Amino acid sequence: MKHKKLLLIIAIFIVSLNLRPAITSIGPVLNTIRADLHISGTQVSLLTAIPVFCMGLFAPLAVPMQRRFDYRSSIVLLIALIGVATFARTFVTNYSMLLITSLLVGFAIAIISPMLNTFIKMYFPHNLGTVVSIYSLAMGTGAALSAGFTAIFYEYFGQWTIALGVWSALAIAAIIIWLVALKREEGVTLFAPLSTEVRNPWKTKKAWLLLLFFGLQASLFFSLTTWLAPVAMAQGFSIVTAGTVLTVMSLVQLTTNALLPSVLAKYPNPMMWLFVLLTVGGVGAACLFMNATVAIWVGAMLLGVTLGGLFPLALTLPLNEARNNQEANAWSSMVMSGGFMMSAIMPLLIGFVYDMLQSHFYTKVIFVVLICALFCAVLAIQRAGKNA
């Protein structure tokens, strides 16, 4: 049984590796794509905004897909879609093709994410925090790998299309390991109808609070990954050094993801850790207002700690609240649906504010506002829990 659980965790990790590279691989070759396809900065930014928005728009489809297919087949089909869409970028000749691949990737990720959440609750009900942290770590690792190696692949192959398409190899590995880890009969029986009552999350106040929290933490993540480097450049950093600041934040985020399971095992109080993480993030955001060079680095590291802890906890909260597996799927779908749509809008809003005011001072203000809003959301969730 232990070997079976370990194999399932490995399968979850490899599948989760596929949930970010198709999005984050765009950044390193963004300027090259823009110049080669003769498109504007707004157009090229949509290549990352569209998948994130789709991750929210199509998340509710996880519930009907759960009823129609089994987990084994569903995950295989969706990972295959990511792989095909990513590989198709190898043959991209125009901007429209890139947009279509981004849409397909966002559609697949939208459905996989809540399904994996439900799968984790089903197989690891007593180790939710640990396994969700591993799931989160895998997504962060996929994002870091694609952000770091896409430029290297571009230099080696000499074509940005190949540098984007090469990430489809991850899908092949995920499909093989998933099929080995989950036997056919298990995938079918997982979907036996439940006689227990399933609360509609759209009619539950607690679910809306969890959606708000998820959306705010995702907004903070995508806002920082999009705008932290420009903020550093506005304070005198070179392009390369500003990119390194973003890399450092990502590495700290991954480290926090890796350490979180052991911390939660010792002190299993998610609400306490949310307040701690947001306090750390508040200090980090305050550091960005200082002119000292070292303050930017310190701020990036502290914000990395916050991001590394918020996401797995945001995934775990609806699972802890759900009373059964179908409810876990419904609640996760709702939370991710609204949350990711919020997070797709926020970086564009920051860009609009910057275009209007021509100062990244207001970008940093928005970072602080997001953290303050997260504090309020956590307080509301805590109060709702006491009143339940």
Which residue segment(s) compose the domain that 313 sits in?
A: 199-388
Q: Do residues 284 and 350 share a domain?
A: yes
**Boundary (domain end) residue, out of 160, 192, 224:** 192
pLDDT for position 13? 95
3-state secondary structure of 324: coil
Regarding whether 121 and 203 lie in a shared domain, the answer is no
pLDDT for residue 306:
94
Residues contacting residue 79 through CB under 8 Å, at least 6 positions apart: 15, 18, 108, 112, 171, 174, 175, 178
**pLDDT value at residue 248:** 85
Residue 386: predicted pLDDT: 60
pLDDT, tens digit (0-9, with 9 covering 90-100), for 150-188: 877 888 898 999 999 999 999 999 999 999 988 765 554
pLDDT at site 41: 61
CATH number at residue 166: 1.20.1250.20
Half-sphere exposure of 219 (CA within 13 A, CB side): 26
Domain edge (last residue) among 146, 173, 192: 192
pTM, whole model, 2 decimals?
Answer: 0.76
pLDDT on residue 1:
55
368 Cβ contact list (under 8 Å, min separation 6): 282, 285, 286
Q: How many domains does the chain contain in total?
A: 2
| Residues 212 and 186 placed together within one structural domain of the fold | no
Q: What is the pLDDT of residue 190?
A: 46
What gap in Å lies between CA 136 and CA 25, rounded to an integer? 18
| pLDDT beneath 70: ranges in the chain | 1, 28, 31, 41-42, 66, 184-197, 239-240, 325, 385-388
21 and 162 in a single domain? The answer is yes
The closest alpha carbon to 82, from 11, 183, 174, 161, belongs to: 174
CA separation (Å) from 61 to 24, 66, 109, 178? 24, 8, 11, 21
Same domain? For 4 and 89 the reply is yes
Q: Where are the alpha helices (DSSP H) in the chain?
A: 2-17, 21-24, 30-37, 41-57, 62-68, 71-88, 95-123, 128-157, 160-165, 169-181, 184-189, 205-234, 239-266, 270-287, 293-321, 325-357, 361-387
Answer yes or no: do 186 and 327 share one domain: no
